Amino acid sequence: MKLLIDDANIDAIKALYPIYPIDGVTTNPSILAKSGRQPYDVLREIRAFIGAEAELHVQVVGRTADAMLEDVERIHAELGAQTYTKIPVNPAGLEAIQRLRKAQPDAHITATAIYTPMQAFLAAKAGADYAAPYINRIDNLGADGIATAKIIQDMFTKNGLPCNILAASFKNSQQVQALAQYGVGAATIAPAVIEGLVRNAAVAAAIDDFTRDFESLCGKGVTMKDAK
C-alpha cells in the first residue's frame, strides 16, 4: 500500500519525508485554504520538494465538466502532466473523467468525494486511476468506512477494473492498518495520524530500558560507536 501525506503544510511535509516511506502528497481545496497562501505558490513548492517522480494530487474546483477540464489544463501547465487531478464523482465529474481519459489516455486521474461503492465503480468504469473513499466521513454518516473500502476493492477485482483505492479521511492508525491488511492500493493520511502509526509508549519504554542497561555497563552517553 502506498502512503501519501494529506496536507499542504510544507514544513510538515519536509519533517515527515526523511522519516517515513512516503510516496507523495495529496491536497484538496480545503487543505489549500488552510495554508493561507495562494494555491499555486503552495503547490509549486510541494512539487519542487517531493520531486517530479512522487505523486502529487490536486483537486479541480470547477462545477461543470467544462470548468473541471479547464482546471485540469491549468494544473498540468503549472505542475506537470504527471500530476494527478482529483475530480469529484458527481454527474459533471463522471463526464469530465470520461472526456479527459479520451482526450489524454495517459492522464493521471483520481476520483474523489466518494461515499458509496457505486460511485467508485462508475469512476473506475469512466477511466479513473484511483478512487478515493472518505473512510472517517463515511463512518460519521452512520455507515462503515472500512467495510465500504473493502467492498470497492472487491468490486474492482471481480470486475477486472484497473483502478486502485486511494483511501482518505482517517482518524486513527487502526483504520490504516485494516486497509493495509486488505491490500488496498494507497492511503493518504494527515501528519498527526502518520506519526501515530509508530507512536507507542511500550516501544519508548523498551528503548529506554535498553539504553539504561547498556549505560550501566559502558557508562553514561556511551553508544556502540564508543564502546570498548
**Residues annotated catalytic, as ranges:** 86
Q: Give, as one character, the DSSP assignment of residue 54.
A: S
Measured between its terminal Cα atoms, the distance across the chain in Å is 43
Integer Cα distance of 47 and 49 in angstroms? 5
Q: Which residues of 198-209 are buried (b: 16+ CB within 10 A; e: fewer)?
A: eeeeeeeeeeee
Strand residue runs (E) in the chain: 2-6, 24-26, 55-59, 84-88, 109-114, 130-133, 164-167, 186-189
Show contacts of 147-154: CB within 8 Å, 24+ apart.
148/115, 148/116, 148/117, 149/179, 149/182, 149/184, 150/179, 150/182, 151/117, 152/114, 152/117, 152/120, 152/121, 153/182, 153/183, 153/184
